[in-house]
Amino acid sequence: MTDARSIEPIVSTAWVADHRSEEDLVVVDARGPTAYENGHIPGAVNAPKWTWMDAEADLLLTLPDADDLFETLGSLGIAPDSRVVVVGSTGDTFDLADAANAADTLIYAGLDDVAILDGGHTKWVGEDRPTEEGAVVPTATEYAGELDQSMFVMKDEVTSRLADVTLLDTRSPEAYFGAMQEDFTDRPGHIPGASCLPAAWIWTDEGTFKSPDEFEALVEGLVGADRSQEMILYCGASPFSKSWRYVMQEVLGYENARVYNGAAQEWTQDPDAPLNRYCWE
């Protein structure tokens, strides 16, 4: 967890219940509009997954332009000193990753106090906590921040660093191994030298985060305990790798966990980009 934080990176339903009325706290519901309008935490604003992507890019779920991102944050009522809690769904790993993707993008935009609600909307309603229907109209503000460009790498850097950086593929073992091919990739397999660290391992079957002790044992068992080492994470289209980056940096304190923004989608479009298949590394 970074020193600038005043809230934990993962917060409980009880914490949100106690703090949701505080003026500087913005609750962002990252589910789709229909689910949101059918019931959400009172006062929560809606920002579904396409809020956090460049809609005009050729690749799926790549980062939005800085001006567009800052305009979006302002329209949601988020100021540079806001505390933000992201609420997601727990339907499957993709739903769980949507919340982490939003939280990680908020950190990229320069916010320090960003958290994810553990167990998401599912846990909130399962505890009979209050909800409201319809849509909340935020009080817009002006957001000005500084992007943390160090969180992401482009394809050229991945290519040049294959021999000297820890590389983590956060897709399913089947996609990593090449036993199946994701619809948005052109070829099966993984980038040479990558180890497999599936995003699905972040959460329990109930859709809550695993404990920090379990995260530590899992990550240190794969990459070691050196919190300063450089790592590049990738997945099919970025949300899975951003989920692990969030856990590694915000929960475990790894300082140089970076995400390949173009992901396997971009890599596999290049017929000359190497891929390994049917092997573990």
The rounded distance, in Å, linking the Cα atoms of 262 and 159 is: 12
Helical axes 93-108 vs 239-246, angle rounded to 10°: 70
Residue 260: which pLDDT band, with cuts at 50, 70 and 90? very high
pLDDT tens figures, 109-128: 999 999 999 999 999 999 99
Q: Are 190 and 276 in contact (CB under 8 A)?
A: yes
**Residues ≥6 apart with Cβ < 8 Å to 278:** 177, 178, 179, 189
Domain 10-126 is classified in which CATH homologous superfamily? Rhodanese-like domain (3.40.250.10)
pLDDT band at 19 (very low <50, low <70, confident <90, very high): very high
- Alpha helices (runs of H) in the chain, residue ranges in sequence order: 13-19, 33-37, 66-75, 93-108, 120-126, 155-161, 173-177, 212-223, 239-246, 263-269
149-269: CATH class = alpha beta
Tell me the two tokens of residue 121: 């909307």
Q: How high is the pLDDT of residue 53?
A: 83
pLDDT exceeds 70 at position 56: no
255: helix, coil or strand?
coil
Domains 10-126 and 149-269 share a fold: yes
The pLDDT, as a whole number, for residue 60 is 61
pLDDT tens for residues 130-180?
A: 999 999 999 999 999 999 999 999 999 999 999 999 999 999 999 999 999
The domains of the chain are located at 10-126, 149-269
Across the strands, what pairs with 40? 132
